[in-house]
Chain A
């Protein structure tokens, strides 16, 4: 015989085809415990009980029954119970949704933020120190190093004359402290780079074997999560990061973009201009396979993917 089983926050109810209640399994009165039971599979003893009553076909498709009234009978303050249940239940769901890939995404975003900040700060210190010693013209890194080392322009080895303004000790100390901040940020950047590469190998080994780990993490961050990335088509992966151009094209203005973030991959960088689009297509197809393997089966297919990819790219340059 057929029966309908409905799981509610209060407990599990079973109905026969005439919508008569034929069995129930109540959850504990405590919302937290009830939420835990709710997220589990249907309990064995309940199913066995139904089988014993000769109900073999169990359907969980919703049917319109006044199940709410039934719940109300079983709990004294249903509204309060439901609110607490909702909170507990959503907490449990949240926990299962957050995975390690989200940690990686935060790390790569932090790295990009630091990059931006370092550039911004370096520009600022150039302007700032330039007031004092405009003749000193070296690369950014060297500038910060020598500010920390020498401080006032009189201490610079090659200093003769300057058209800049004189700074007293207090002024120059502030500049030095700012330069130190930039240097610390650069140290932090190296730590993060190492962390991201390391974590990439752990979470997305196949994916990050085809492109540079930092780029892999960036693509992952753009997709939102590993699950989302794994569900993307290769053409979507190919154009991640080129949304603006894509939608401009879809609105029938402009050419279709050939690549998004993956443009920075060395495979595309080293191929000739007329092949770049084709290589992007081949690469994204392999990336898609890699992402799915990383999310679902978690096998190691690094070697095969890499060989396939390089062969296909090689063929491309021979045939053309």
Chain B
């Protein structure tokens, strides 16, 4: 196993994270033993973050104690891997009751996933969470970028990273995906963000791109 980022491993062109709940898998992924440790394979076709790594991500800032705000946690596929990587808290916000059902089971097994059945459009409902090292946004909504900006401005640490999985089809079906990526990037730049990388997720996901951003300068947090 070769470590490409902290606690993210690769071997034979597959990605792995260290399983924090040995013996249990979350979504039917394969468990692999090496040495005395157990690893979970991280499927790029199921998780956009894994796909991003396959497509050449060069910025990733999770450390042993990093906390993460995850908007659009869904059933917890990617969340489970993030909770493998860091021992800090993962705030998993999800608005759909149906998805939350599965997320609750996962959260019951792990020590660091806090499920929140809330609307990410209203961050004031969870304004009490700690400032986080990473804000990860994966919501199928035309307003996705605005929601991401608002949450990042409220909760992201000055040196933190903002990941936005842009689903062009849910922003505007009539436009070409690359046009949408540009438009969304502009919105971010206008709100004092710097686009570090734009990664097209083809062939793992169609019409999706991951925008990796940070604040323009290490700025202090201000109230909105």
Contact = CB atoms under 8 A, between A and B. Distances in A.
A90 B115 contact: yes
A98 interface: yes
B189 interface: no
A83 B107 contact: yes
Contacts of B1: none
A314 interface: no
Interface stretch (B8-16, B121-129, B192-200): B121-129
A250 B221 contact: no
**From B114, B130, B221, B223, residue with most partner A Cβ within 10 Å:** B114
Most buried by B among A63, A79, A89, A90: A90
Given A86-B107, A87-B107, A64 B222 contact: yes
Interface residues of B, number: 32
Given A62-B124, A62-B154, A97-B97, A90 B221 contact: no
Contact of A94 (B97, B127, B174): B97
Given A62-B127, A250-B173, A79 B111 contact: yes
Interface string A76-109: 0001101101110111011001100000000000
Contact of A64 (B103, B108, B117, B223): B223
Interface in B167-224: 173-174, 221-224
Nearest to A19: B223
B107 A91 contact: no
Contact of A90 (B104, B127, B128, B223): B104
A63 B223 contact: yes
Interface stretch (A1-9, A22-30, A149-157, A287-295): A1-9
A89 B117 CA distance: 8
B127 A6 contact: yes
B112 interface: yes
**Most B CB within 10 A of own CB, among A9, A87, A91, A250:** A87
Interface in A63-80: 63-64, 67-68, 71, 79-80
A63 B123 CA distance: 11
Interface in B87-127: 89, 92, 97, 100-101, 103-104, 107-108, 110-118, 123-124, 127
Interface string A279-303: 0000000000000000000000000
Nearest to B108: A87
A138 interface: no
A128 interface: no
Given A64-B222, A83-B114, A90-B104, 9 more contacts: A62-B224, A67-B128, A68-B128, A83-B107, A86-B92, A86-B115, A87-B107, A98-B97, A251-B173
Across the A-B interface, the 9 shortest Cβ-Cβ residue pairs: A62-B127, A86-B114, A8-B128, A90-B117, A68-B130, A93-B117, A62-B124, A86-B115, A97-B97
Interface of A: 6-9, 60-64, 67-68, 71, 79-80, 82-83, 85-87, 89-91, 93-94, 97-98, 247, 250-252
